[in-house]
Amino acid sequence: MVNTKEKIWLSSPHMSGKEMKYIEEAFSNNHVFPLGPNVSGLENDIKYYVGTDNCTCLSSGTAAIHLALILLGIKHGDEVICSSFTFSASANPIVYEKAIPVFVDSEEETWNMDPQLLRVAIENRINNTGNKPKAIILVHLYGMPAKLDELVAIANEFEIPIIEDAAEALGSTYKGRHCGTFGEIGIYSFNGNKIITTSGGGALVSYKKEYCQKALFLATQARDSAPHYQHSYIGYNYRMSNISAGIGRGQMEVLDERVTKRREHFDFYKSAFTSFDGIEFLQEPSADFFSNHWLTTLLVHPEKTRGINRENIRLGLEANQVETRPLWKPMHLQPIFKHYPAYLNGVSERLFENGLCLPSSSNMTDDERDYVANSIKSLL
Ligand SMILES: *Cc1c(COP(=O)(O)O)cnc(C)c1O
């Protein structure tokens, strides 16, 4: 039996044991600074893994989104389309640049940006303002790839660049190609709760070399090439440290194992609830979609559970020392974002009302996930 005093976490860091050799190397060479050989090494590992030519590691996924917007020339007053159903870090950098987020709701299959609604939003913004939105921030939430063919086709038709927020989707693919490599720019996060971690960090990838070069330049205080400190651009300190990158290198060695484990958790939960009518999981709509299943997420339909709702389950699990979380609260409902334009169909609001993220850490034991599933069953 599980010791119920020990909390079961939603998504905890999971070291491989291979990290220390990179960190020790950094210490023995006194490479205890930003950038350095581990950072270049991690960039190479990511390039190889996702199949892209260019990668710049940064201090966070948020920093990567911010720089992506700057690279695309987003300025004061420009409109930037963004998935409404996401974490606030997808949208905050739009406001850092004093641009205007325009939120687009989800479709029901992948829970990501609805292509039809994207088209409506673009056409409506052009009609209303006379200007085209300047970029689209497309999120692959919980590791599930968005409907990329449809979304990319619309973006191409209107010639609007896509920034792919693949913070939660490292290791996910669509038609065999890695999430993050479909747009002009893609970003990943290595925050502590993501599928792999550098304790905190991110990466920006692009098929365009100049984007990654300029990202590095801006992230390192935008220093012109001169013997003195000279600046022609506003710079940022968004570098990744060589120590963090050492953790990342050790984590990249086991990324595929981590994906396999999280997918196993999903399969386990799904089969545990096949006979429960009122429980529905977010699952791959077809073989084109390969999710890393960063978090297993479900919907509770109280009309089929004799009234038991998401909150009953969440609070019941909390009392059993199991950490779960409601799905992301859509951006158009957030106090800080609710006055911005939004194109809605009710999907993300329903997901927010009925959805729950289950413990999905790759270091969760079989006993622990049995305990989670049995606790939910007894609540139902
Ligand atoms: C975690 C996350 C980010 C931000 O990444 P950080 O590395 O934490 O800054 C952005 N978007 C989404 C969807 C995320 O889940």
10 found inside a domain: no
pLDDT at 361 over 60: yes
Q: Say yes or no: 205 and 282 in one domain.
A: no
pLDDT at 306 over 80: yes
Pocket test for ligand 1, best of 59, 86, 90, 238 (most atoms within 8 A of CB): 90
Q: What is the pLDDT of residue 295?
A: 98
What's the pLDDT tens digit per position in 179-200?
Answer: 999 999 999 999 999 999 999 9
What's the pLDDT tens digit per position in 91-134?
Answer: 999 999 999 999 999 999 999 999 999 999 999 999 999 999 99
Supply the CATH number for residue 235's domain. 3.40.640.10
Cβ 139 under 6 angstroms from ligand 1: yes
Instruction: For residue 44, give its domain range.
Output: 19-252
Q: Say yes or no: 260 and 203 in one domain.
A: no
Q: Are 344 and 331 in contact (CB under 8 A)?
A: no
Q: Say yes or no: 229 and 158 in one domain.
A: yes
Q: Say yes or no: 289 and 373 in one domain.
A: yes
**How far apart are the CA of 328 and the centre of ligand 1, in A?**
12
Give the domain-ending residue among 252, 286, 311: 252
4 found inside a domain: no
Q: Say yes or no: 207 and 307 in one domain.
A: no
Q: What is the distance between the alpha carbons of residues 170 and 175, in angstroms, rounded to a whole number?
A: 15
Q: What is the mean pLDDT of residues 130-144?
A: 98
Q: Say yes or no: 30 and 138 in one domain.
A: yes
Instruction: List the residue whose alpha carbon is closest to atom 2 of ligand 1.
Output: 167
Q: What is the pLDDT of residue 43?
A: 98
pLDDT at 170 over 70: yes
Cβ 138 under 6 angstroms from ligand 1: no
Q: Say yes or no: 88 and 155 in one domain.
A: yes
Q: Say yes or no: 166 and 311 in one domain.
A: no
Q: Say yes or no: 172 and 44 in one domain.
A: yes
Q: Name beta bridge partners: 173.
A: 178, 290
Supply the CATH number for residue 263's domain. 3.90.1150.10
What's the structural domain count of the chain? 2
Give the domain-ending residue among 237, 252, 267: 252
Q: What is the pLDDT of residue 33?
A: 85
The DSSP annotation for 85-142 comes to SS-GGGTHHHHHTT-EEEEE-B-TTTSSB-HHHHHHHHHHHHHHHSS--SEEEEE-GG
Q: What percent of the chain has pLDDT over 70?
A: 99
The Cβ of residue 293 has, within 10 Å, a number of other Cβ atoms equal to 29
pLDDT at 2 over 80: no
Q: What is the pLDDT of residue 157?
A: 98
pLDDT at 35 over 90: no
The Cβ of residue 24 has, within 10 Å, a number of other Cβ atoms equal to 11
Global model pTM greater than 0.75: yes
Q: Name beta bridge partners: 50.
A: none
Q: What is the mean pLDDT of residues 333-349?
A: 98
Torsion of CA 266, 91, 81, 76, to 10 degrees: -170
What's the pLDDT tens digit per position in 258-299?
Answer: 999 999 999 999 999 999 999 999 999 999 999 999 999 999
What's the pLDDT tens digit per position in 192-224?
Answer: 999 999 999 999 999 999 999 999 999 999 999
Q: What is the distance between the alpha carbons of residues 85 and 327, in angstroms, rounded to a whole number?
A: 9
Q: What is the pLDDT of residue 5?
A: 61
Give the domain-ending residue among 210, 234, 252: 252
Q: What is the distance between the alpha carbons of residues 84 and 258, in angstroms, rounded to a whole number?
A: 28
Ligand 1 closest atom vs CA 65: 10
**How far apart are the CA of 85 and the centre of ligand 1, in A?**
13
pLDDT at 1 over 60: no
